[in-house]
Amino acid sequence: MTLFSLTDYGEMWLTYSGQGRLEVTDEEFDCEFDVGQMYSGKIYLICRFTGSYPSSSSDRSMILLEGTTRHGEVKLRGFATRKASRNNVGSLVYVTTVYELTYESGSDEIPQLSLSMPDSEVTGIRFYLTNMLFSGDIIIPGSRGYRFFECRLGEHDVKIQQDLDYNNRIELMKATGIAVTASLFIRGERTISDSLCDYVEIICNLLSIALCNKVNWIAYELVGEDESVVERIHRNRVTMPYSSFMLIDSLRLGNLREFLQSSYQPYVEFNQLVPYEQKEGPQKFTFMRFVTHMYLSAKGLGFIEMRALTLCSLVEVLTNVICDKLEYGKLLPRGDFGKIKSDLHKATENIIRSKLPDIDNVTISQFQNTIQNRRSLEDRLIRFIDEYRIPVDYILGESKGTDNIDDVGRFKRNRNKLTHQMKFQNDDSQGEYLFLLHFLDRIILAILQYDGKPYINVDDSPYLHGSNKPIFNLRSQSADL
């Protein structure tokens, strides 16, 4: 009698059933099992025991499962949380236990489920992608009813194609937030490696930026000559719910291909500007992966002011990174400022005491601390804009005024209001939010050196305003650092 089902815990992508041996805290037990991966990346295991079974002394354990299914040999390893356990008394005592496998903070152990098939020569590797969108309903001749595109990125030729059950997967994605909708195939690769996973991670991040929707892989297959599966690996991965603010129009798949080909190398180079790399959870964070996550959060769901504040923070992070590389963040070199800092503080104290003799020392010290050797955010942002030829407007010097506001000035006013009061500069929250999105979009596209092909201007979208200006024009070629 089955007391629990994998579907009790959510929509499952792939499941396997069979018999095997479970190891829990150095003890081994025979069991029947059902194991599966959800679209969100989580892995669930249901074990049914007769006779001896794992004790309930710990709800969090390292487990290892080896078993046989009709699909092939299964291995599962990782930290597991006991979600439920129940006895059913009849002629025999059955004990059914449900485990959820998730990443254990501070551990190098990533939950992994593998399925090994009969031996065959490996001719390529296929990654399964969540929330990859193919707009429109055009079927490419000869594609057997699903859409795909191919391109060369770096050292590899890749093919990205719809899932065979794409329409139903899209409906599931819109209903639940996450679904496997596509695959990415790399022909010629015969073994998996960390560098290949990192390579696919870059492609997923670029697709995420283009579609403004988190695209990630949750499993991969080693594929044989006849497209038979030699081995399949499921990983506990980080995914995000579906969002609909698209940047690159994917109605024509050539747009996505051109975006990937144009942006792949600039992405790699910009990622190397900042030595930001750490292992957090089941995935490795790099600087551009951090940028991608902030970008998607700014375009995601939730409180509009919080999204806008995240957006402004990302603009400021990118500005500081570039200005630090250009040594433009300081008014004076650090050493020169150190030579005059004490004199400036002393002069400030003398002026204050001569005008306000009753002022206290704490207030004087606070005045002295306002002397900063740092350019304003506006100055740094304009330097960043000039360096990358970002097509946003700004006004310098005497031309500035309250009635003549430029893009940078409008951004600054919104940023200050959001930072200090958590509201936009005026009552048109949607209009100001869409302006900020378009402001950030132009920065991202310039960083990626996108070369003028159509993109979706969210601030002038036909869905919101009845018109569209799809052409992104850089003032000139983006400068190299």
Lowest-confidence pick of 77-86, 99-108, 332-341, 465-474: 465-474
Lowest-confidence pick of 213-222, 248-257, 414-423: 248-257
Residue with tokens 């990125």: 153
Q: What is the percent of the chain with per-residue pLDDT over 90, rounded to a whole number?
A: 40
**CA neighbours within 13 Å on the CB side: how many for 316?**
16
* Average pLDDT value over all residues in the chain: 82
Taking the CA atoms of 419, 421, 240 and 133 in sequence, report the sign of the dihedral they define.
negative
The candidate with the shortest Cα–Cα distance to 469, out of 459, 479, 481, is 459
Residue-level pLDDT at 109: 76
Q: What is the mean pLDDT of residues 302-321?
A: 93
Q: Give 278-291 pLDDT, tens digit per residue.
A: 555 445 668 898 89
Q: Where are the domains of the chain?
A: 6-113, 117-285, 306-460
Q: What is the mean pLDDT of residues 86-92?
A: 64
Q: Which residues pair with 38 in a beta bridge?
A: 12
Q: What does the chain come to in residues?
A: 481
Question: Is the pLDDT reported for residue 457 higher than 70?
Answer: yes
H/E stretch holding 368 reads helix 361-369
Residue type, 365: S
Best mean pLDDT range from 176-190, 325-339, 409-423: 409-423
CB 30 within 8 A of CB 53: no
φ/ψ of residue 430, rounded to 5: -65, -45
Best mean pLDDT range from 321-330, 379-388, 445-454: 379-388
Residue-level pLDDT at 238: 67
Q: What is the mean pLDDT of residues 346-355?
A: 85
Residue-level pLDDT at 152: 93
Q: What is the percent of the chain with per-residue pLDDT over 70, rounded to a whole number?
A: 83
Q: How many CB atoms lie within 10 A of CB 194?
A: 8
Residue-level pLDDT at 335: 76
Residue-level pLDDT at 283: 53
φ/ψ of residue 399, rounded to 5: -70, -15
Q: Which residues pair with 85 in a beta bridge?
A: 97
Residue-level pLDDT at 370: 76
Question: Is the pLDDT reported for residue 426 higher than 60?
Answer: yes
Question: Is the pLDDT reported for residue 77 higher than 90?
Answer: yes
Residue-level pLDDT at 468: 35
Q: Give 354-401 pLDDT, tens digit per residue.
A: 888 888 888 888 877 777 767 888 999 999 999 999 988 888 754 555
pTM over 0.75: yes
CB 271 within 8 A of CB 287: yes
CB 70 within 8 A of CB 18: yes
In whole angstroms, give the CA distance from residue 210 to residue 250.
Answer: 9
467 by Cβ neighbours in 10 Å (0-12 / 13-18 / 19+) ranks as: exposed
Residue-level pLDDT at 471: 42
Q: Which residues pair with 153 in a beta bridge?
A: 156
More confidently predicted of 52 and 476: 52
More confidently predicted of 414 and 175: 414
Residue with tokens 């991040």: 205
CB 135 within 8 A of CB 249: yes
Taking the CA atoms of 294, 296, 302 and 306 in sequence, report the sign of the dihedral they define.
positive
The candidate with the shortest Cα–Cα distance to 31, out of 66, 78, 76, 80, is 66
Question: Is the pLDDT reported for residue 142 higher than 50?
Answer: no
Which residues have a Cβ under 8 Å from the Cβ of 457 and sit 6 or more positions away?
Answer: 438, 441, 468, 469, 470
CATH classification code of 6-113: 2.40.10
Q: Give 196-251 pLDDT, tens digit per residue.
A: 999 999 999 999 999 888 899 999 999 988 778 889 999 877 677 766 677 887 76
In whole angstroms, give the CA distance from residue 198 to residue 193.
Answer: 9
Query: How is residue 272 annotated by DSSP?
Result: T
Structure token digits, residue 447: 């960083």
Residue-level pLDDT at 138: 46
Q: How many CB atoms lie within 10 A of CB 410?
A: 17
